[in-house]
Amino acid sequence: MAGAFGSAVSATVGLLNLHYAFGVPWLGSERLWLEWWIGNATGILTLTPLLLMLQPRWPHWPLRQWLEGLLWLGLLLVVSWLVFISPTPLLLAYLPFPLAIWAAFRFGRASVALTVLVITSAATWGLLNGRGPFANGLGGDASFISLQAYICTFALTSLTLAAVVAEREAIAESLSQEKEKSERLLLNVLPAPVAERLKQGPATIADNFSETTVLFADIVDFTRLSERLSPTELVILLNDIFSEFDSLADCHGLEKIKTIGDAYMVVGGLPEPRPDHARAVAEMALDMQAVIAQFTDSEQQPLRLRLGMHSGPAIAGVIGRRKFIYDLWGDTVNTASRMESHGLVGAIQATHASYKHLYRDYDWQRRGLVRIKGKGYMQTYLLLGRKSLSPPPRLPKTSSLSVAP
């Protein structure tokens, strides 16, 4: 539109200048204006798209596409010569159109603009030298008008096709990016295997795992801490702590289930079963103690955790239609939660089930029988660290029969 309007303005101004400055009569001015306008529009259609689409860098094509591009360019030059320049030209003016279509679908708008420039240059040179389909029998202005009409038709058709293809590719790219965003968001909520199953559309996702280890971690004195910090400071602190825990879960190949206030829940052995689930959870628990020591409260005192773990079977699945989550159920979950809530400050308390998996490779302190809410008395152990030759550190001695507060 801009090219047509600019060409019309140029033709009008030029015609007025010829009449008033040089005394050219008005007779035949309509034909002259039309030829002038077509000439300007042809030049704009030929050169402007290429100038606008030139890129400072070469496209990042694979080798196969570069070879295809060289083949296309070679055919473009050969067809241009055969149709418009050859002493015995082929009278097939529309033979270059398939090459423009090829360029639009395979190489982008810049290649289509180059096609228009090459064809326009070859056709114009051929007519000026009495060759090509537009130099046969027409003569005079008719040959030039036919050439200009051909160039306009070829350029408009080719460039419009290139624009449509480019817009379609841009829409496809935008849809692909949105799909990737949606999938990344889904993977932030669900494990990858579960997300893949959910995309396939099963009505219910529920799995039974015979061997898992569940870990709960809770920040000690969080209520008191929340009273001393502003809402923004509190959220920033929790985000920093839990982000570190998320990194640990990824590092150890564990599945974060959720956070509840200042509590963090993670599990090993699902959604993909693994024989070392207890060991991976124990390693993360020890690393969590090291991480939390780097954070301080409002009085610059290191924060501390209370951790509890238990090994056993569990059921995992996706529940809800809105804000759905991948959650965990079963006695194993409840027992692990009780190990945390009835544990000691700064300690990792485990049941005998977890202890059986780990006693060979880690140092332990036997806490003794502890009365657990809803469970009665249970034998529990405190994980001290990885087994070493030196004596392990001892936590404050607890009675063999103790009741957690």
Closest residue by Cα to residue 258 from 320, 345, 303, 179:
320
Give residue 218's identity as a one-letter amino acid code.
Answer: D
The verdict on whether 219 is a catalytic residue reads yes
119 touches 85 (CB < 8 A): no
Known catalytic residue at 246? no
Q: Which helix (H) or strand (E) holds 44?
A: helix 29-53
On whether the CB atoms of residues 126 and 150 are closer than 8 A, the answer is: no
Strand partners, 325: 319
Could you check whether the bond before residue 271 is cis, i.e. omega within 30 degrees of 0? yes
Q: Residue 52 corresponds to which tokens in the numbers above?
A: 């606008």
Q: What 3-state class would DSSP assign to 264?
A: strand
Catalytic residue among 38, 119, 219, 292: 219
Q: Tell me the torsion sign for CA atoms 276, 279, 285, 288.
A: negative
- Confirm whether 262 is a catalytic residue: yes
* HEC assignment per residue over 190-243: CCHHHHHHHHCCCCCCEEEEEEEEEEEEEECCHHHHHHHCCHHHHHHHHHHHHH
CA–CA distance, 270 with 191 (Å, rounded to integer): 9
- Phi, psi for 368 (deg, rounded to 5): 105, -160
Q: Which of 218, 241, 292, 372 is catalytic?
A: 218
Q: Do residues 89 and 133 make contact, with C-beta atoms less than 8 angstroms apart?
A: yes
Annotated catalytic residue, options 257, 262, 292, 297? 262
- CB neighbour burial string for 303-339, b if at least 16 within 10 angstroms, e if fewer: bbbbbbbbbbebbbbbeeeeeeebebebebbbbbbbb
Q: What is the dihedral of CA 235, 236, 237, 243, to 10 degrees?
A: 100
As annotated, the active-site residues are 218-219, 262
